[in-house]
Amino acid sequence: MLQADGKCGQCPDNGFDCEAARACFGLNSSQAHAVNSCISACRCLHRSSAQLIWGPPGTGKTKTVSVILHGLLNLMPRARILVCAPTNTAILQLASHLVPLVEKYCKSKNLINAIIMFGNMERMRQKTDNEKLPKLFESNCVTLEASRTKYARLVFCTPYRSSWLENQKFDILVIDEAANLKECESMIPLATNGIEKVVLIGDDKQLQSVVKSTIARANDFGRNLFERLSELDFPKHMLNIQYRMHPSISKFPNQKFYEGKIIHGPNVNDYNNTYLDGHMYGPYSFIHVEDGFEENSNQGSKNIVEAAVVANILGRLAEACTKQKKKTSIGIVSAYAAQVIALQERVQSYKKHNFLSVELCTVDSCQGSEKDIFILPS
């Protein structure tokens, strides 16, 4: 029997103190509501369920999922949880948020030993500076991984790696960045034995998976499970407070894609330009580059003049940040791999700068990243 709010009328209180969680973990009201609803659905003994958490940019998706996983580990000691994300980077990001919560707040101090990251150990080690995460890494030996994961309560892996767990039983599936996976990719962990509860986290308004085949695109092969379930009116919890962007930057996506539902966190109103002087360098700038021309290759287009302009801006930022002794992260994003390659030599000297950390990436590879400044050459 379902109540008007979607909760099961036969289940007792889920044991999750929403107000205490808000105070303890610093959740806002939309995050706390999503956490409470997902934990209630997962603890229900009378029905299977699928819950959607819709998180626009900067609204705290990773934080919210980490609190959900922490709550499930504490409140469902017999449940086994499979957590998937499209990439090793996304897995590391989520694990790095969860581990401190488990160590600090979980009732059992040994619970950290019940968490395993199942995947390419060397690749993951290259992407993290967290000294505690390697303890969760599994060996690349399939037989050893299979035997160790059998006793884990929570397993992190990519959808592809989850196929190696087909003979194991899990109760709950959580997919982070679910809108970045094609439906067929989400089906791999969904086929795992025993799954009755599913939580999908994502944003179907952001960049979808790349589908190169014209025929496949025409037949919605790139559609994701998050989008399908959303269209079928499955419970969808929107995180509506963003803490990442200056209000003038978020104004366009908020109106264009989110119907003006996004509220600004109190921190973003204090964001001011403290890097470069001049009216051109406000919260965002469009810079016209004259005399540039595009060269095409099998890796896409590149513009050498634009690359030189980017290097010039980086030089000025390096000087300003050194003078202010202000550590600043910068992402340089291009739609084409050829432009990224053209930029590599020009920005190499800034990669080990005392006050600048610079990352070059394509649009696909940088999705979800947070930086103080983004530079977008064509």
Question: Where do the domains of the chain lie?
Answer: 18-239, 275-375
pLDDT category, 142, cuts 50, 70, 90?
very low
Looking at the DSSP bridge assignments, the partners of residue 49 are: 197
pLDDT given for residue 6 in this prediction: 47
84 vs 307 pLDDT, higher one: 84
In this structure, what token pair is assigned to residue 370?
């947070």
Is residue 144 classed exposed, middle or buried when 0-12, 13-18 and 19+ CB atoms within 10 A define those classes? exposed
From the list 246, 245, 244, 240, the residue with the least C-alpha distance to 260 is 240
Q: What is the mean pLDDT of the segment spanning 251-259? A: 94
Tell me, yes or no, if the two domains 18-239 and 275-375 fold the same way: yes
Domain 18-239 top-level CATH class? alpha beta
- Between CA 225 and CA 227 the distance in angstroms is 5
Looking at the DSSP bridge assignments, the partners of residue 359 are: 331
Lowest mean pLDDT among 79-83, 86-90, 153-157, 207-211: 207-211
- Between CA 177 and CA 193 the distance in angstroms is 22
pLDDT tens by residue, 41-89: 999 887 888 999 999 999 999 999 999 999 999 899 899 999 999 988 8
pLDDT category, 138, cuts 50, 70, 90?
very low
CA–CA distance from 327 to each of 2, 25, 77, 357 (Å)?
52, 27, 42, 8
pLDDT category, 132, cuts 50, 70, 90?
low
CATH of domain 275-375: 3.40.50.300
pLDDT given for residue 276 in this prediction: 79
Residue 308 CB coordination number (10 Å) = 15
